[in-house]
Amino acid sequence: MAYCEKTLILASASPRRRELLGRFAVPFRVIPARGAETAPEGLTPGELVRCLAEHKAAEVAEGEGPESVIIAADTVVEIDGEILGKPGTPERAAEMLRRLSGRTHRVWTGVCVRQGERILSAAEETAVRFRELEEEEIRAYVVTGEPMDKAGAYGYQDRACLFVERIEGDYFNVVGLPMDRLGRMLREFGVSLL
Q: How does 126-135 read in b/e, with b if 16+ C-beta sit within 10 Å?
A: bebebeebee
Determine how many CB atoms are found less than 10 A away from the CB of residue 30.
Answer: 16
- Distance, in Å, from the CA atom of 94 to the CA atom of 146, rounded to the nearest integer, reads 12
Active-site residues: which are they?
74
CA–CA dist 91, 8 (Å, integer): 39
| Coarse DSSP helix, strand, coil percentages of the chain, rounded to the nearest 5 percent | 35, 25, 35
